[in-house]
Structure 1
Amino acid sequence: MNALLVDDSRLARTELRHLLQAFPEVTVVGEARHAEEAREKLRELQPDLLFLDIHMPGETGFELLASLDVAPRVIFTTAYDEYALRAFEVNALDYLLKPIQENRLAAALAKARLKQTTAAAVAAETGVAGPPPPEEPAPTLLTEHDQVFVKDGERCWFVRLSDIRLFEINGSYTQIYFEQNRPLIPRTLQHLEQRLDPRVFFRANRQQIINLKWVEGIEPWFSNSLKIRLRGGPEVEVSRQQSVRFREMLSL
């Protein structure tokens, strides 16, 4: 994958270039200091991947993307956490907070590789080179290492998914359990299930999705179902159908 780095900070570009040396599948083909220079580099180099800062002199990273007819896959790199929700609304692959951690960079590049492999498979099957015809983008799968922006009324959080132990339906909203917080978000469990890594997040029943890494205890329950106790609470009853799936998924 050819990558273009766009950041007004030379130090940030140098640090990111250094981190990318650990990923031989990525070749940094250019750098840009602001949106105008980035547009020129994008036309000239046509990279597969764009590492994009948000706050830059002149136009922001979002304004740069809005001005493009066709954009490569985007990974935002920024020191600000309040734009995470907007970043995913423009179908960014990932949102990395500075200073960038190598494990977060690795997770973002894994998503980029998956997208590239899928596009290549479609091209091979259809015999059409280049990107497939425009279609509704598939939701980006979030790993436990990702951080998400959560807003409930006047309160906001930027929380790592690994810290969330439970998603639970509450009326027409979904309630999130992390630390002592219980914010509500306007998302359905069906939507969340499509976005969350199924190796970590398990749909226990129609009302709840649990983080398997927070399971503290399991006991048999009625009609061959299971009851799961999460660290920090609460207890979750797994439906009979999902109990069968749970046993199959986690058994040797």
Structure 2
Amino acid sequence: MTTAIIADDEDLPRKELRRMLNKIWPELEILAECEHGAQALEAIHQEEPDIAFLDIRMPGMTGLDVAHAVKGRCHAVFTTAYDSYAIDAFSAGAIDYLLKPVSEIRLQEAVTRLKERLSSKQPVADVSQLMQELDKRLKSAATERIRWISASVGDTIKMFSIEKILFFSSDEKYTRVVCTDDEAHVRKPLKEIMDGLDPEQFWQVHRGTVVRADAIAKAHRDEMGKYTVELRGTSEKLKVSQAYAWRFKPM
């Protein structure tokens, strides 16, 4: 029997991929669903799957990092929401990817290629060159990082330097932007804002919350093992979802 794991830090894409795989490839056994890269790495070592479906953009350890760390142990298929500038980094057919939201037609194509590779016992593709090319493209895109956030408040336009923002939180159709002495709402979803943030400077701690890493004063863990963080410059306490709790575990 062919086996696989799925790794994605978002619940809905992970569950939807599993649903489509169950439909397209019912004999495929999903051994584990992982919420972050470290968990995926552990699952690959423990379960030894034939295939790993890995989201490229996971916090901390990315899907590419996982594939590189387990080089040669299983075939990797990357899921990504990146635009074409990153998609072009994938070599034709050697390493597969699925652009989110994943369509059944595209998944069927990937499954067909995987079955061919497994039946012919092709060696697992080396991701080193892909990592170098993608890293080069992402560094090039990094020059377009957000420096200012502008928010309309009545007849006034407020300007927030990215260096002064403590955290962003999703608020229905808006994103709340919070500084030490001010805040506002912008008409832009958090996911789009995150594309322009430096992931080393801003950490996602919840599906709807991104915080400035150097503003974190402390993290508290309750009796259920759930974390909340306190930030310097605000009295608000922010919840940390289980998917990102690994950031705060003692070294």
User: Which TM-score band (shorter chain)?
Assistant: 0.3 to 0.5
Larger Rg: 1
Taking structure 2 as the reference length, the TM-score comes to: 0.45
